[in-house]
Amino acid sequence: MSHFLFNFFALLTVICAVGTVLNKNTVNAAMCFMLSLVGVAGLFVLLEAYLLAFVLILVYAGAVAALFLFIVMLLDMQGGERKPFKPMAVLASTLAAALLAVGVLTMYQQPTLVAAATENVPGASLKEYAYQLFSTYLLPVQVIGFLLLISMLGVIVLSKKFSDAEVAP
């Protein structure tokens, strides 16, 4: 059953990631991005990394992708004509695909991965992680939240359409 779930989440992630890149409609691309993140979260759950899966869904799929979707819908962007690929872009994507294939083949040649011991790692428990998050890293988390709020308000102001009567000379 775990092989089936792994293959399902891996296939979901890859298909939705390709859909994100190749989709002309930005709203559909954002939805594919969110589904791709859900697939990665499912892979984290299979690895028993529940905290990472929860943070991925909460922060990325819940905040960043939803904010992106909100911005796209506010700006009312329409997909235009797709320009042909430049030769350098084709070369770079071919090289990236070849490197990905080499990496996948290398991973299949190694029979197993060695798990690292987590007994002596500082911050390995959830309690220590929460303490660090709410003491040492509280200011960066608050600053990032504030920046996301300001960017959302800026998009709302920039996307508002003013009539000629509202604009002062």
Total number of domains in the chain: 1
CATH number at residue 41: 1.20.120.1200
Check residue 8 and give its pLDDT.
93
**In degrees to the nearest 10, what's the CA dihedral of 103, 105, 109, 112?**
60
Check residue 61 and give its pLDDT.
72
CA distance 160 to 78: 17
169 residues of the chain, pLDDT tens digit each? 788 999 999 999 999 999 988 887 777 888 888 899 899 999 999 988 888 888 888 877 777 767 777 777 666 655 566 677 788 888 988 998 899 889 888 877 876 666 666 566 655 677 777 787 788 888 887 888 788 788 777 777 777 766 655 555 5
**Residue 14: inside a domain, yes or no?**
yes
**What's the domain range around 19?**
1-79
CA distance 163 to 64: 31
**Residue 70: inside a domain, yes or no?**
yes
**Residue 63: inside a domain, yes or no?**
yes
HSE-CB for 126 with a 13 A CA cutoff: 6
Q: What is the pTM of this model?
A: 0.54
Check residue 79 and give its pLDDT.
56
Q: What would the 3-class secondary structure string for the chain be?
A: CHHHHHHHHHHHHHHHHHHHHHCCCHHHHHHHHHHHHHHHHHHHHHCCCHHHHHHHHHHHHHHHHHHHHHHHHHHCCCCCCCCCCCHHHHHHHHHHHHHHHHHHHHHHHCCCCCCCCCCCCCCCCHHHHHHHHHHCCHHHHHHHHHHHHHHHHHHHHHHCCCCCCCCCC
Check residue 18 and give its pLDDT.
92
**Residue 75: inside a domain, yes or no?**
yes
**Residue 85: inside a domain, yes or no?**
no
Tokens, residue 82? 């797709």
Contact 159, 75 (CB under 8 A): yes
